[in-house]
Amino acid sequence: MRSPLVWQGPIPSAGRLLIEAEPLELMDRHWQDSVGKPESGGILLGYRRGDHLHVTIASAPQKADRGWRYQFVRSARHHQEIALRHWHASDQKIDYLGEWHTHPECQPNPSATDLSEWRKICRQREARMVFVIMGWGGELWTGVSRGVIVERCTEISF
């Protein structure tokens, strides 16, 4: 069982990131802990409160997604439909906050492709975004954006 995680971005005065246990557990189910397991991923949904991001939902990989050991291509349309459904059902409060995917490494780090993809998303949206990479032991890389720069968060305790 996971506990919710609270992260602080590199600027202490800026908002925090809270990821609930449920999305973490969904991502845990896709660890690449054996050679045959491909990368998988999805989108992150939740609430924006000022600069704070509260992730309550991670979308599961969709049938139309394509995953290889070192690459993952998301079916944008299917994940957008999931986002839209939650947005309507929540009276337009649950927003698209970012993306997650797995890496076949214990301590994940963003690749050059990840960073350029994320920059593209940040350019398209004029809002703070969150990006998560899940390693095969449950260790996460998490970052939030400031403009088009994505910076690593550090875990904080209450």
Binding positions for Zn ion, rule: CB under 5 A: 111, 114
Pick the closer one to Zn ion by CB: 95 or 114: 114
Shortest distance, position 8 Cβ to Zn ion, whole Å? 23
Shortest distance, position 98 Cβ to Zn ion, whole Å? 13
Pick the closer one to Zn ion by CB: 111 or 116: 111
Q: How far from 143 is each of 41, 51, 66, 85, CA to CA, in Å?
A: 16, 14, 24, 26
Residue 149 has which token pair?
């720069």
- Out of 22, 25, 39, 151, which one is annotated catalytic? 39
Pick the closer one to Zn ion by CB: 27 or 94: 27
Q: Is 81 a catalytic residue?
A: no
Burial level of 122, CB count in 10 A (0-12/13-18/19+)?
Answer: buried
The C-alpha R_g of the chain, in whole angstroms, comes to: 15
Q: Indicate which residues carry an active-site annotation.
A: 39
